[in-house]
């Protein structure tokens, strides 16, 4: 059985990628997961410099989901290269570095710095974090901005370039098109949904940042819809994510049009989820006589709805 997937020059043995912001820098999970067994590891978003992030509380639970406003706390690209990348390389991880900037020049500089390092498999452009004012979201919410940042990074690197799209726009598929036109190797979606939770007794927001990004199973059907819409619009690989908890959820994204998937919140609930999802994918392939998992991508049959079952 072939579960492999290719995104530009990045070849992955399976489509399961640890989602940025949900897996630290990967090494935090070395004792529970063989990092080389994952399709890829998208490390926590990196700016050029270290950042402290927002004061706590940074997360709050909501029905079947969670809001976060971490504020991209991070060690900066140089410490990442010095302290984390060598160990990730040693562990055999296929590293997708998520990069964040406040200007196009910062994205370009990050891309150039990381392109010189051995062990970087791809760059994911964070143009969609809802939690920081000065971050890339201004690019992610504008079609011309998305095009501009993707093409600038495209010119600066030969690494696969994967802009991560926001769901907080009317038509994410138009952003997918802008990214493809600008030379993106793939797109990843969705980042979190901008959201708010209030403590009614005190009438105070439940996060220090007031607003946060909603993730988890609560968003999954919306994310699946957005992946499906993007699949109609672009030819490049799509990395789908949003509340995947098990193999069926991952398969749903793939049938909607995702070539690979990212798993975030589920890893918080169960850090051993990776092997379980992988087993679920292979047993599905056996049951459905699918030799190549990529053959499943975008195969939703709209000729009739599925039979209802209780």
Query: Active-site positions?
Result: 129
Cβ proximity to another protein: between 34 and 138 the closer is: 34
Site string for another protein, 199-238 (x = CB under 8 A): -----------------xx---------------------
Cβ proximity to another protein: between 8 and 217 the closer is: 217
- 66 contacts another protein (rule: CB under 8 A): yes
Residues 6+ apart with CB under 8 A from 27: 84, 87, 88, 91
Residue whose C-alpha is closest to residue 254's, from 269, 270, 238: 238
- 65 contacts another protein (rule: CB under 8 A): yes
Q: Which stretch binds another protein (CB under 8 A): 51-59, 134-142, 155-163, 190-198?
A: 51-59
Q: Which of 41, 42, 68, 263 binds another protein (CB under 8 A)?
A: 68
- 59 contacts another protein (rule: CB under 8 A): yes
Q: Which of 52, 118, 201, 301 binds another protein (CB under 8 A)?
A: 52
Q: Which stretch binds another protein (CB under 8 A): 1-9, 66-74, 190-198, 223-231?
A: 66-74
Q: Which of 36, 49, 56, 78 binds another protein (CB under 8 A)?
A: 56
- 262 contacts another protein (rule: CB under 8 A): no
Q: How many residues bind another protein (CB under 8 A)?
A: 34
Q: Which of 5, 7, 17, 60 binds another protein (CB under 8 A)?
A: 60
Cβ proximity to another protein: between 151 and 265 the closer is: 265
Closest CB 22 distance from another protein, rounded Å: 6
Pairwise CA distance, residues 273 & 282, whole Å: 15
- 270 contacts another protein (rule: CB under 8 A): yes
Cβ proximity to another protein: between 64 and 232 the closer is: 64
> What residue ranges bind another protein (CB under 8 A)?
21-24, 28-29, 31-32, 44, 52-53, 56-61, 63-66, 68, 70, 73, 216-217, 245, 265, 267-272
């Amino acid at each position: 059985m072939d579960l492999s997937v290719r995104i530009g020059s990045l070849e992955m043995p399976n489509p399961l990628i640890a989602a940025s912001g949900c897996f630290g820098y990967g090494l935090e999970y070395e004792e529970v997961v063989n990092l080389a067994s994952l399709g890829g590891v998208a490390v926590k978003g990196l700016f050029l410099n270290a950042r402290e992030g927002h004061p706590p509380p940074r997360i709050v639970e909501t029905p079947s989901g969670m809001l976060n406003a971490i504020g991209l706390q991070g060690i900066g690209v140089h410490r990442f290269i010095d302290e984390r990348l060598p160990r990730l390389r040693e562990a055999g991880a296929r590293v997708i570095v998520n990069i964040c900037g406040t200007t196009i020049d910062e994205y370009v500089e990050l891309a150039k710095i990381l392109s010189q390092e051995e062990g970087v498999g791809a760059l994911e452009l964070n143009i969609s974090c809802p939690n920081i004012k000065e971050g890339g979201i201004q690019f992610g919410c504008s079609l011309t901005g998305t095009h501009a940042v993707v093409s600038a990074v495209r010119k600066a690197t030969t690494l696969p370039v994967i802009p991560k799209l926001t769901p907080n726009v009317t038509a994410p598929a138009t952003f997918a098109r802008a990214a493809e036109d600008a030379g993106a190797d793939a797109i990843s979606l969705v980042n979190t949904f901008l959201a708010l939770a209030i403590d009614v007794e005190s009438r105070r927001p439940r996060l220090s940042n007031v607003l946060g990004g909603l993730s988890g199973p609560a968003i999954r059907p919306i994310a699946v819809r957005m992946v499906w819409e993007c699949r109609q619009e672009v030819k490049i690989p799509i990395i789908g994510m949003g509340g995947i908890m098990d193999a069926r959820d991952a398969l749903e994204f793939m049938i909607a049009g995702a070539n690979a998937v990212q798993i975030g919140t589920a890893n918080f609930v169960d850090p051993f989820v990776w092997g379980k999802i992988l087993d679920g994918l292979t047993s599905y392939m056996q049951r459905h006589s699918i030799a190549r998992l990529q053959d499943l991508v975008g195969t939703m049959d709209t000729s009739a709805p599925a039979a209802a079952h209780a």
